[in-house]
Amino acid sequence: MPEVPSPLARRPAGRCLTAKVALLAALAGLAVPAAFAQSPAAAPVPAQAPASPPAAAAPAAPVDEQVQSLKSDVLDLNRDLFVLEQELLYPANTQVAVFVSMDAGTFFALDSVQLKIDGKEVADYLYTPREVHALVQGGVHRLYVGNLKVGKHELVAFLTGKGPHDLDYTRGATLDFQKDIGAKYLELTITDDQRKLQPQFRVKDWE
């Protein structure tokens, strides 16, 4: 098998995400009461203390700032965890990613893409009209990210959709590529061949 599972690759990503969400919820849940506990506004006010409105309103701002700061910390932590998770699941030296882009789309209405690497199906994605519209507008879809060992590999992509004259259309695009140390990025591009009035499919290797 050409794929090299990283130590964490066997673990479902959903578990990590669930744990992250739980952790962040716990942090957020703990952080807010802690902020209130530290705040003078939350402390019991002696009965004799004069209730002057400006003095009572003043401590509210720091508490709010503290909550905002804690929220910001939680967001930063979430971002760091996401980056760390991606680095662990797909280390730079084995990572391979395949993107899909569409240049015009006049002669082809994309329905789905099936991706095989070294004969093994790694992705089968169904596109909705909204996603196709995003691609036509210049969007790029990351269809697959995984791990491959160094060496020669073959990528085959089968694209289905509606071709010219609204006919069912299935075409394949193949690329033999060399995976070196370092991340490998491949792009599946769908363009219009104005000369032949046909869609054109190519797999580009981002050197």
Partner 1 sequence: MPEQRQRSPRRLRALTAALAIVWTLPAPAARFHATPGLAAPDFALRAFTGPNVRLSEHIGQVVVISFWGVGCDACRGQLAALEQDFSRYQAQGLRVYAVEVADDQAGAQHFARGTHVTFPLLLDPAKSVARLYDVDNLPMTVLIDRDGKIRQVVRDFNETSRRACEDELRTLLAE
Q: Which residues bind partner 1 (CB under 8 A)?
A: 11-12, 14-16, 18-20, 22-23, 27, 73, 76-77, 80-81, 84, 111-112, 125-131
Shortest spacing between CB 28 and partner 1, in angstroms: 13
Helix (H) / strand (E) containing 87 = helix 60-89
Rg (CA), the chain: 26
- Which class for 190: exposed (0-12), middle (13-18), buried (19 or more C-beta within 10 A)? buried
* Phi (first) and psi of residue 164, to 5 degrees: -60, 145
Nearer to partner 1, 77 or 145 (CB): 77
Nearer to partner 1, 125 or 177 (CB): 125
Shortest spacing between CB 153 and partner 1, in angstroms: 27
How is residue 10 written in tokens? Answer: 């066997």
Report which DSSP code applies to 190: E
Half-sphere exposure of 77 (CA within 13 A, CB side): 15
Shortest spacing between CB 14 and partner 1, in angstroms: 7
Nearer to partner 1, 32 or 77 (CB): 77
Nearer to partner 1, 77 or 173 (CB): 77
Shortest spacing between CB 176 and partner 1, in angstroms: 30
Nearer to partner 1, 23 or 150 (CB): 23
Shortest spacing between CB 33 and partner 1, in angstroms: 18
Shortest spacing between CB 81 and partner 1, in angstroms: 6
Nearest-angstrom CA–CA distance, 159 and 13:
27
Task: Name residue 133's amino acid.
Answer: H
3-class DSSP assignment, residue 3 = strand
Nearer to partner 1, 12 or 50 (CB): 12
17 Rama class: left (phi>0) / alpha (psi -120 to 50) / beta: alpha
